[in-house]
Chains A and B, each alone.
Chain A
């Protein structure tokens, strides 16, 4: 009797207590995960606030002139972002010019041409290229590529184009080895795997039936790729390219080594220049004075703004693609 009463008294409340406990721990866990998710957003907002706060001094001193001035003089404390913005945009654009066709070429090779046993090793090799840290590209460019380029390739290009209008201005000046052109080439190698990886994934979402139908009426591989696969995968390919562009715009170490860090706008691509990220990396720790530091942070704010727009556009395009291919994660 005593036993019974005991067990009855214990069991009933325990059951309810257990349910309550489950409910509480469930709610706690949910709040935990939600907090972690919101922390991601908080970091993003924090970055924006920190950048605006840090660049306030420079922006209030120079106003909008900061964007259009090409003076960068730490001695007189006059700073303008134009050369850095110009360098960033030009190197990234050139890098895209090289990397997009080559990256798509690799993707086509991997999806259509590559013999099956080689598919994995070659795909992996290209993806490993994406894993190599950017500082490695930097010292490789600085110690190996730039000297070789300077001695064996650059003089030839300068001579060959010396009398052709427009081109002679783009490729003139002494062969330094380092400069905007070198930086663009290194950048293009860096972003190549991003483009080919996304493009390959998108190509694989193309229904085989479409391709088979095209082959069936006698199309060549080229015609199938150009008329069927590329149009179908267009937004995904553009999204992947934008993603790579975002990388290129913000890439720091690889560029810093080989761009020459000169705040000048020079129409020759062989001339030393600078980019936003290279300026920050090179000068930040040595910057004396609040205005100098603030100007560098303002450069960072501009970079964040540009990459945000590019990356947001990339996401919208890839999301659209994802939805069409039935939620496959790209």
Chain B
């Protein structure tokens, strides 16, 4: 009787361990399959012309230069605008607000925005800017991306500032530093690596965002320096090219997808390294 129970428990345990290992295998297999497919299909499209020529008409040769430039430009502006706002807001939550009801509300709303569907952000900017201006524009795309950057930076900044030991703050206060100076010269500096991590994660997040750009920056087949006009971006080009019927365009879409993924993965690995060194 006892032996039977023991055998059954062992069997259940074995089964459970097997399932758990296969779950991990599924996860790793998924990553391997996706990266494998990206490499197989993307490498074929990689060439120097990718970076020098603009997106082609179907049937002719071309590259992704305008899309790459558009993505880099719009992401850069979004990060430059969104980062200070995010850092300031995160600073309020960790330093000034901490236990106030305002901070509670901001924290709650920020975490909602952090996971809110990005297509909703696109609709918001569409109503806010595109409808008012009467046309799609790179400005609108930048605004949409900046709105996505802010919550990411707020969350990491607050978390990182909370890791700074209070003794540092007390030490700054004891030599008579006003709070603003103590924050800037002591707490920010102590949490610098963590804050940089947050910004890197934000860049990684927006460099692949497609949905909020579809009806803000739209897309542009040509090179454009005009922020008041639609601007191409890698994700938007991938979306339209992948949905097309042309093999050339498919190849470019895969190459673009490979570029984005490499960028994102590199950024998140760097962020991870900085974070692990910090701890």
Contacts and interface: CB of A to CB of B under 8 A. Distances in A.
Interface string B260-274: 110011001100100
* Most B CB within 10 A of own CB, among A53, A113, A221, A222: A222
Nearest to A250: B117
A132 interface: yes
A149 interface: no
A41 B105 contact: yes
Interface stretch (B60-68, B173-181, B220-228): B173-181
B28 interface: yes
A40 B154 contact: yes
28 contacts: A22-B178, A26-B180, A29-B179, A30-B179, A33-B88, A36-B88, A36-B92, A37-B97, A38-B106, A39-B89, A41-B109, A43-B113, A47-B121, A51-B127, A109-B20, A126-B27, A133-B209, A135-B210, A139-B242, A140-B33, A144-B33, A220-B10, A221-B17, A280-B119, A281-B214, A285-B214, A307-B115, A314-B115
Interface stretch (A1-9, A58-66, A99-107, A266-274): A99-107
B106 A40 contact: yes
Interface stretch (A74-82, A188-196, A204-212): A188-196
A222 B20 CA distance: 10
B127 A252 contact: no
Interface in B183-219: 183-184, 204, 207-211, 214-215, 218
B80 interface: no
Contacts of A284: 126, 214-215
A193 B37 contact: no
B253 interface: yes
Interface string B3-42: 0000001101100110111111011101101100110010
A311 B111 contact: yes
Contact of A132 (B34, B150, B179): B34
Nearest to A245: B115
Contacts of A37: 88-89, 92-93, 97, 102-103, 106
Contact of A329 (B33, B85, B159): B159
Nearest to A315: B111
A251 interface: yes
A46 interface: yes
A14 interface: no
Given A36-B89, A252-B117, 4 more contacts: A30-B92, A105-B24, A133-B207, A220-B12
B30 A192 contact: yes
Contact of A106 (B23, B34, B111): B23
B215 A285 contact: yes
B13 A223 contact: yes
A22 B113 contact: no
B91 interface: yes
A256 to B, nearest CB: 8
A112 B17 CA distance: 10
B70 interface: no
B131 to A, nearest CB: 8
Contacts, number: 274
Given A36-B88, A40-B151, A131-B264, A246 B23 contact: no
Interface string A274-318: 000100110011000000000001001001100110011011000
B246 interface: no
Interface of A: 22-23, 25-26, 28-30, 32-41, 43-44, 46-47, 50-51, 53-54, 101-106, 108-110, 112-114, 122, 124-129, 131-140, 142-144, 189, 192-193, 196, 220-223, 225, 243, 246-247, 249-253, 257, 277, 280-281, 284-285, 297, 300, 303-304, 307-308, 311-312, 314-315, 329
B128 interface: yes
Interface of B: 9-10, 12-13, 16-17, 19-24, 26-28, 30-31, 33-34, 37-38, 41, 84-89, 91-93, 95-97, 102-103, 105-106, 108-113, 115-121, 123-124, 126-128, 147, 150-151, 154, 159, 162, 178-181, 183-184, 204, 207-211, 214-215, 218, 235, 238-239, 242-243, 250, 253-254, 257, 260-261, 264-265, 268-269, 272
A221 B97 CA distance: 44
A32 B178 CA distance: 15
Contacts of A277: 117, 119, 211
A252 B95 CA distance: 36
A182 to B, nearest CB: 14
B246 to A, nearest CB: 14
A137 B117 CA distance: 16
A122 B29 CA distance: 11
B124 to A, nearest CB: 4
Nearest to A244: B115
Contacts of A39: 85, 89, 150
Given A25-B180, A128-B265, A109 B204 contact: no
A106 B10 contact: no
B125 to A, nearest CB: 8
A193 B26 CA distance: 11
Nearest to A299: B123
A317 to B, nearest CB: 12
Contacts of B115: 243, 246-247, 250, 307, 311, 314
